[in-house]
Amino acid sequence: MHVELSEALPALVALIEGHLLRERVEPVRTPLSPEALLERLDLALGEQGVPFGDVVEQLHEVLAVTPTTASDHFFNQLFGGRDGAAVVGEALAGVLNNSMYTYKVAGVHVLIELLLVKRMGALMGYDEPEGVFTPGGSLSNLAGMVMARNEAVPDLMDRGSDGRALRIYTSADSHYSIRKAASMLGIGRDNVVKVAVDERGRMVPEALTKAIAADRAAGHVPVMINATAGTTVLGAFDPLEPLADLAQREGIWLHVDAAYGGSMVFHPDFRAHFAGISRADSITWDAHKMMGVPLTCSVVLVRHKGHLTKHFNETADYLFQDDTDDLNPGTRSLQCGRRNDVLKLWTAWKTHGDEGYRRRVQVLRDNTLYAREIVEREPRLELVREPESLNLCFKVGGARADKLCTAMNRRGRAMVGHAFVDGEPVVRLVFLDPTLPRERIDAFFEALLLTAEEGELPEVSR
């Protein structure tokens, strides 16, 4: 029925140590098909249990075929590396298992969440922020949209939509979670207005102004401007100050999706990108991206205290029984039972300080520029855009980027993704692991060029 953790602990340590060793020896793995994995592993669950020692052996096997996202061969997503400090906090959260809805049950961890919200809000220029950790940037953006919508149509949360078209403005380069949230929230995807971006991938305020005017003329209800601070493909920052002016003039909620770029606020070189963000009504910021904390660690910050509680609180006398709302984050969260996503961030931040994250951003940016030089120097590579932050988008002569990235993975050389810029596939290389040695960047390009030369690239199946 259960295993004592004290007895399982040596196995956990052996599993982690084994994984770290294998990751060094085999930093990237040739992917196996589902059929091959199912043949190799005994995953099936039975009527009878299996001795825990045998399950541990099977876990060693599972770990051995798990795609490595923390190795120096992983460039596929907007996260990477592994910070032992954060992992310790994450593992402890699982051992403690405090559900983050009430002070009675979560105690000091509620204070840690409040402290992080205050600190992160202050970095964004908020005086008295409210905030709550959510299970990821998509849901932080959704929370922003719920508040924006409810503020625009005050009785909607009780009476439901009145059928008017509620309009959401976001750049053509913004994350798909905006469209997804509009779908989920009953706003409708057709009511997401994709605003034009400039050559660098930044929303064009004049285009937004026109779109809002046209919507007002048509009797639609403008609800939210979503500005992106760090777009998914180009890493671009929308111009926040003019967008804040516009939002203020029009009386529209301004949300900033800084899921990816938010952590650049630590670095003075990028502070100008954040000018105006303190005027945003809400902000999404994922610490699991650039701050190297395990997934997920996302916060939605709100400029005016009370908005989250106003739009997310429900009476539940079987749950909220003691203490004030401020100490019971369940009154402002999207969930009821909620895991502790804050201890890992606190542990890491305490260890590194703001200064550590400033250095991290510096190193990541330096690596980007180092790679940019390689692309510039190498005639077979073509830079598609100057890197706005950490994303390097380029083409490889003689090879379609999408097929090339798939081949890099299938041949067990590196995990890297493609994207589309101006309708053309490009390699999107991102640098999120601050421990990445320069030689690994060199080696990545060598492998990429070799793969392009070898030809016979696989079809991309989507």
Site for a copy of itself in 41-60 (CB under 8 A): 41, 43-52, 55-56, 58-59
Residue 424's DSSP bridge partners are 421
Q: Select from 25, 154, 251, 317 the one that contacts a copy of itself (CB under 8 A).
A: 317
Q: Select from 275, 363, 374, 443 the one that contacts a copy of itself (CB under 8 A).
A: 363
Assess contact for 211 and 156: CB atoms under 8 A: no
Q: Which is nearer to a copy of itself, 379 or 423 (CB)?
A: 423
Residue 98 binds a copy of itself, judged by CB under 8 A? yes
Q: Which is nearer to a copy of itself, 244 or 302 (CB)?
A: 302
- Residues of span 366-395 touching a copy of itself by CB under 8 A: none
Q: Exposed, middle or buried by CB within 10 Å (0-12, 13-18, 19+), for 443?
A: middle
The pattern of x and - marking residues 159 through 178 that bind a copy of itself according to CB under 8 A reads xxxxxxxx--------xxx-
Q: Using N-to-C axis directions, what is the helix angle for 343-377 and 84-96, rounded to 10°? A: 150
Residue 82 binds a copy of itself, judged by CB under 8 A? yes
CB of 272 to a copy of itself, least distance (A): 21
Q: Select from 215, 402, 413, 445 the one that contacts a copy of itself (CB under 8 A).
A: 402
CB of 150 to a copy of itself, least distance (A): 8
State whether residue 84 is helix, strand or coil.
Answer: helix
Residue 419 binds a copy of itself, judged by CB under 8 A? yes
CB of 18 to a copy of itself, least distance (A): 11
C-alpha 83/C-alpha 72 separation (Å) is: 13
Question: Whole-angstrom distance between the N-terminal and C-terminal Cα of the chain?
Answer: 43
Q: Name the phi and psi angles at 64, rounded to 5.
A: -70, -20
Q: Which is nearer to a copy of itself, 89 or 239 (CB)?
A: 89
- Residues of span 180-199 touching a copy of itself by CB under 8 A: 180, 182-191
Q: Which is nearer to a copy of itself, 33 or 251 (CB)?
A: 33
CB of 174 to a copy of itself, least distance (A): 11
CB of 244 to a copy of itself, least distance (A): 26
Number of H helices, E strands in the chain: 16, 12
Residue 283 binds a copy of itself, judged by CB under 8 A? no
Assess contact for 298 and 136: CB atoms under 8 A: yes
CB of 455 to a copy of itself, least distance (A): 19
Dihedral over alpha carbons 194, 198, 201, 206 (to 10 degrees): -50
Q: Which is nearer to a copy of itself, 61 or 378 (CB)?
A: 61
C-alpha 432/C-alpha 70 separation (Å) is: 10
Assess contact for 301 and 285: CB atoms under 8 A: yes
Span interacting with a copy of itself, options 244-252, 286-294, 365-373, 437-445, rule CB under 8 A:
286-294
- Residues of span 206-235 touching a copy of itself by CB under 8 A: 232-233
CB of 139 to a copy of itself, least distance (A): 6
- Residues of span 242-281 touching a copy of itself by CB under 8 A: none
Q: Which is nearer to a copy of itself, 197 or 415 (CB)?
A: 415
Assess contact for 312 and 331: CB atoms under 8 A: yes
Residue 12 binds a copy of itself, judged by CB under 8 A? yes
# binding residues, a copy of itself (CB under 8 A): 169
Span interacting with a copy of itself, options 210-218, 240-248, 273-281, 416-424, rule CB under 8 A:
416-424
Angle in degrees, CA 74, 75, 80, rounded to 5: 70
Residue 144 binds a copy of itself, judged by CB under 8 A? no
Q: What's the number of CA atoms in the CB half-sphere (13 Å) around residue 266? A: 24
* Non-local CB neighbours of 311 within 8 Å, separated by 6+ positions: 146, 147, 150, 157
C-alpha 416/C-alpha 32 separation (Å) is: 17
Dihedral over alpha carbons 91, 97, 100, 103 (to 10 degrees): -120
Q: Select from 353, 397, 398, 437 the one that contacts a copy of itself (CB under 8 A).
A: 353
